[in-house]
Amino acid sequence: MSPGGRIGPATLAAYLEHLERADRAGAVALARGLLAEGCSVADVLVDLVAVAQREIGRRWLTGSWSVAQEHAATHVSELVVDALGTAVGAPRRGHVVVACVEGEWHALAARIVSEVVRAAGWRVTFLGASVPARHLVSYLHQTGPDAVLLSCVQPNRLVRAARMVEASRAAGVPVLAGGPGFGPEGRWATAIGAAAWGASARDAVRLLSGPLPAGTHTGPPPPPADDAYVAVLHRRRELVRLALAAVDVPEEAAEDVASGIAHLVDALIATARVDDDRLLLDFLGWQEEALTARGGRRLLDDVLAALERALAEHPRVAARLRNARAAVATG
Amino acid sequence: MAGAALPADDRLARELLDGLAEAVVTIDPAGVVTLVNAMAAELLPELTPGVGLAGCRVPALAEAARDGADTFETEHHGRRLRGLRRELAGDRCAWYVRDVTEEQARTDALLAERSRTAFLARAGSRLGLSLHREQTLRTAVTLPVPYLADVAVVVHRPPPPAEDEPHWIRCADGESTPVTGVAGWRTAESVPGLVEALEGDLTEPSPWLDAELADLAEVLPAGFGRPGTVLISPMPSAGGPAGALILARRPDRAGFDQREIALAREFAGRAGAALAAAELYGEQTHLARVLQNSLLPPKLPHLDGVTLAGGYRAAGDSLRIGGDFYDLFPTPTGGLFALGDVCGKGVGAAVLTGRVRQSLQTLRLVEQRPRELIALLNRALLDAPGAAARAQFTTLLLGTLDRQPDGGLLVRVAGGGHPAPLVIRAGGGIDVVRVGGMPVGALTAARFAEAEVRLAPGDLLLAYTDGVTEARGGPTELAMFGDDRLRQALASGAGLPPAALVDRVLQLVDEWLDGQPHDDIAMLAVAAS
């Protein structure tokens, strides 16, 4: 809640109603009105738009909203972020680059961070959703910013995030990580070489204004704790193929299942990278809901078993898979 | 017993003791010196038989005796001594003292050499990281502090178009981030050797022992006071001097010795090379960026009554330019749009893309009817010098958007061999707008076609390039994304605003590709609003 309590449950409900009706003008007017009443850009974006976005995600997950409704509502919030961005003055601090990890298309949270950081006086370049590591590197060498803010929502994208962190460090730019993809309280952020992790846009401003926590934040990243990581990473496509061949799915569901398996293999690789089984278990807990409709636990167990067989020569990785199977079996 | 074989001969024992390279001093139970050998007389002349050890004039040894310690180490008469105590029979003891001066010097030299090597290795890897000039400068001033100096300043001349005037950047022990400023030539001239270093006339670092605070005050932190010693090193590079490195130490710190001067020269050389590389890269990327900006898809204008969104992904090239493009020009009744695909990839295709867009921008001033405009463009492209030899062609959609009284849009599209645009109706149905026509820029006798479609409010027209449907990936990694998947994605997104729909398609194609290389991708979505 913002100081003065202007953004309370009633305001949130009104805003969500605008989103539900995809009412752009109404949503923008509500946000502008809050600014006029004395709320800061950060207050409106963090306490209203970001909170509403979590609610949208919940409604989509529980099936009360369709994908189209979710997209339309998100789009309205993006327009609100746009409208508020123009209210920010000239930059008086350094330059930061905000990017979503490659493959991540949910850019609203990163855009909110961009605007809140901009409102705090920084020059901000938002590179957009799903930024290829190559583009990021070329941009960093061209502009030499003070920091990269990297957003990652899903932990199975952590391997790609690690590649982007590595690229930024190699270009001499420290990375601040943000988003639930870096684990509970961001516990996996430093394992892949990020300087620090923030849970919200306000954290990002706080981290940028103080010196970064001790440690070296550029140069080669910390090595993976599990040396099977590289081997598994190289066999990624082969593993997806093997696991897909081991399950029996109707043709029309094959594509969905294949992409689910690819995500699972990515999560496994990320687990080896950060050496924490919690990543795989959390991912499966979340995946299970999505997979229940298409064969559920049985299918998941078949996939895990196939991967375990294929990776028998890497005892630590195989053990992670055995663990995961046990967790899935007991629910 | 071995001891039993020794003769009870004092003279022999004395000779053996005096022949040792170690000093030997024996002490009786009362702590009084009883015997010193020849080396002891040389290293510790203060000790003679009868002297009480605890009060002797070798402070470290006296202290060890008082504390009951078994070892001591000290500097005595310019020698480094290390002593070890051994118990002897009858409550007596002996001190064995070695002269370790040379050994210590070698160890110190080795450690110093190691730390210098480590410093240079760290400098090499850190300086190699960035290709950006400012960041390289930051690294160059951060690294020497505090190892080589308390303050490091790089004075440099920024590349054109900046005015040719010395700038400086400083890192000081105790300051969290580097500070920058403009020095001006007058300040530079007041520092001996600085201008010479900047001009490339000074080749060796030169220590400056009697630095006046006034000369350097501008580049030193407030309150630093008068520096002790200052070392100015040129930063040479293959392309001439890249700048000058000023290292300053506080008065309470020793001056620069020969090895440190050599180290500063080595470091300044590496920093100079890194700075020159960054400058060169900066020039090249500036050029590339200017070109890139003229070739990237434009920011779409705002048109009354029309909502627009574009999507663009270039095939793997860090410049992000390619052969696909879209453009939109406002007209009094709406707008004129173009979306096309130049055959080929990368910079070569991008250059032709630029020509097509330039030509369109000019030709639309004389012709606004789509089919006529596309024919005119065809003539213009074929008329360009060397067009026949290049044999490059372009597939293109060119259309006008006209606002209708009912809030809808009338779209007239002319085609040149391009995939047919799709109309996603508000209710979820999808219509294919069959246009036809032949590619542009290939044949003088090419024939072009035109189609017309009405968009009611909520309907959306999507024009796309074949990079979307021909993206290869999926479970087999070889299957094309295809028309069916595209239509399915669009149908499920009926009613979405153009930006959300374009993002959704980009996302699905991206997931389909799963990291595999792809061709250029462009999309333009138009809706009546």
Say if the Cβ atoms of A244 and B475 lie within 8 Å: yes
The shortest CB-CB distance from A219 to any of B125, B492, B500 is to: B125
pLDDT digits (tens, 9 = 90+) for B223-235: 888 888 888 889 9
Using the predicted structure, report yes or no on whether residue B389 has a pLDDT greater than 90. no
- Is B108 part of any domain? no
In angstroms, the Cα distances linking A79 to A74, A112, B328, B493 are 9, 11, 21, 19
For range B250-276, the mean pLDDT:
90
Task: For A75, name the nearest residue in chain B, comparing CA atoms only.
Answer: B500
Give CA–CA dist A183/A153, Å, rounded. Answer: 9
**Domain end marker among B244, B263, B287:** B287
Interface of B with A (CB under 8 A): 125-126, 129-135, 139, 176, 281-282, 285, 289, 316, 318-320, 474-475, 477, 492-497, 499-501, 503-504, 506-507, 510-511, 514-515
Residue B2: pLDDT band by 50, 70, 90 thresholds? Answer: very low
How much is the mean pLDDT over chain B?
A: 87
Task: Produce one character per residue of B164-200: b if its CB has 16 or more CB atoms within 10 Å, e if not.
Answer: eebbbbbbbeeeeebeeeebeeebbeebebbbbbbee
Residues of chain B positioned with their CB less than 8 A from the CB of A137: 318
DSSP B223: T
**Which of these, B157, B147, B149, B167, lies nearest to B200 by C-alpha position?**
B157
Say if the Cβ atoms of B132 and A211 lie within 8 Å: no
Using the predicted structure, report yes or no on whether residue B266 has a pLDDT greater than 70. yes
Instruction: Write down all domains in chain A, each with its CATH number in brackets.
Output: 1-87 (1.10.1240.10), 90-222 (3.40.50.280), 228-330 (no CATH)
**Model ipTM value:** 0.78
Task: For A173, name the nearest residue in chain B, comparing CA atoms only.
Answer: B130
Give CA–CA dist B20/B22, Å, rounded. Answer: 5
Residues of chain A positioned with their CB less than 8 A from the CB of B474: 255, 258
Show the tokens assigned to A212: 């970064």
Using the predicted structure, report yes or no on whether residue B201 has a pLDDT greater than 80. no
Show the tokens assigned to B385: 């010098």
**Domain end marker among B99, B132, B149:** B99
Name the residue with tokens 């496994």: A268
- Is B238 part of any domain? yes
How much is the mean pLDDT over chain A?
A: 87
Q: Is the CB of A173 inside 8 Å of chain B's CB atoms?
A: yes
Distance of residue B80 Cα from the nearest chain A Cα, in angstroms? 38
Task: For B496, name the nearest residue in chain A, comparing CA atoms only.
Answer: A72
pLDDT digits (tens, 9 = 90+) for B440-449: 988 888 899 9
Give CA–CA dist B356/B419, Å, rounded. Answer: 18
Give CA–CA dist A184/A175, Å, rounded. Answer: 18
Please tell me whether residue B422 adopts helix, strand or coil conformation. Answer: strand
Least reliable range by pLDDT among A42-51, B227-236, B378-387, B392-401 = B378-387
The shortest CB-CB distance from B497 to any of A75, A129, A169 is to: A75
DSSP letter for each residue of B277-330: HHHHHHHHHHHHHHHHHHHSPPPPPPBTTEEEEEEEE-SS-TT---SEEEEEEE
For range B202-218, the mean pLDDT:
72
Q: What total number of domains does chain B contain? A: 3
Q: Is the CB of A245 inside 8 Å of chain B's CB atoms?
A: no
Say if the Cβ atoms of B474 and A255 lie within 8 Å: yes
Say if the Cβ atoms of A144 and B129 lie within 8 Å: no
Same domain? For B274 and B301 the reply is: no
Using the predicted structure, report yes or no on whether residue B354 has a pLDDT greater than 80. yes
Cβ burial, residue A179 (10 Å; 0-12/13-18/19+): buried
Say if the Cβ atoms of A134 and B492 lie within 8 Å: no
Show the tokens assigned to A44: 């409106």
The CATH number covering residue B207 comes to: 3.30.450.40
Distance of residue A6 Cα from the nearest chain B Cα, in angstroms? 30
What own/partner pairs with CB < 8 Å and gap ≥ 24 does B87-91 have? B88/B26, B90/B29, B91/B29
DSSP B89: G
Give CA–CA dist B381/B364, Å, rounded. Answer: 14
What is residue A2's predicted lDDT score, i.e. its pLDDT?
A: 44
Give the pairing of strands B230-235 and B243-248: antiparallel
Residues of chain A positioned with their CB less than 8 A from the CB of B126: 172, 218-219
What is residue B175's predicted lDDT score, i.e. its pLDDT?
A: 83
Phi, psi (rounded to 5 degrees) for B218 = -65, -35
Residues of chain B positioned with their CB less than 8 A from the CB of A125: none
Same domain? For B221 and B366 the reply is: no
Using the predicted structure, report yes or no on whether residue B236 has a pLDDT greater than 50. yes
In angstroms, the Cα distances linking B529 to A263, B1, B458 are 38, 113, 7
Same domain? For B418 and B438 the reply is: yes
- Is B111 part of any domain? no
Same domain? For B430 and B456 the reply is: yes
- Measured in whole angstroms, the distance separating CA B363 from the mean position of its chain's CA atoms is 44
What is residue A62's predicted lDDT score, i.e. its pLDDT?
A: 79
What is residue A52's predicted lDDT score, i.e. its pLDDT?
A: 95
What is residue B211's predicted lDDT score, i.e. its pLDDT?
A: 65
For range B46-51, the mean pLDDT:
92
Q: For a pLDDT cut of 70, what percent of chain B falls above it?
A: 95
Say if the Cβ atoms of A141 and B504 lie within 8 Å: no
- Cis, peptide link before residue B332, omega less than 30° from 0: no
Show the tokens assigned to A45: 């974006």
Cβ burial, residue B31 (10 Å; 0-12/13-18/19+): middle
Interface contacts A/B by beta carbons within 8 Å: 92
H/E segment holding residue B208: strand B206-208
- Is B114 part of any domain? no
What is residue B524's predicted lDDT score, i.e. its pLDDT?
A: 96
What is residue A295's predicted lDDT score, i.e. its pLDDT?
A: 57
What is the domain range of residue B39? 2-99
Q: For a pLDDT cut of 90, what percent of chain B falls above it?
A: 47
Give CA–CA dist B241/B199, Å, rounded. Answer: 7
**Which of these, A161, A68, A318, lies nearest to B427 by C-alpha position?**
A68
pLDDT digits (tens, 9 = 90+) for A227-251: 788 889 899 989 998 998 888 888 7
Give CA–CA dist B308/A212, Å, rounded. Answer: 42
3-state SS record for B352-381: HHHHHHHHHHHHCCCCCCHHHHHHHHHHHH
The shortest CB-CB distance from A258 to any of B129, B281, B475 is to: B475
- Is B104 part of any domain? no
Give CA–CA dist A21/A28, Å, rounded. Answer: 13
Least reliable range by pLDDT among A37-41, B1-5, B140-144, B341-345 = B1-5
Give CA–CA dist A193/B117, Å, rounded. Answer: 26
The shortest CB-CB distance from A259 to any of B126, B499, B511 is to: B511
Q: Are B18 and B34 in contact (CB under 8 A)?
A: no
Q: Is the CB of A253 inside 8 Å of chain B's CB atoms?
A: no
**Which of these, B433, B429, B442, lies nearest to B415 by C-alpha position?**
B433
The CATH number covering residue B460 comes to: 3.60.40.10
Say if the Cβ atoms of A171 and B129 lie within 8 Å: yes
Give CA–CA dist B467/B103, Å, rounded. Answer: 72
Same domain? For B138 and B63 the reply is: no
- Is B404 part of any domain? yes
What is residue B193's predicted lDDT score, i.e. its pLDDT?
A: 79
For range A206-220, the mean pLDDT:
81
Using the predicted structure, report yes or no on whether residue A3 has a pLDDT greater than 60. no
In angstroms, the Cα distances linking B193 to A152, B198, B233, B234 are 52, 9, 9, 9
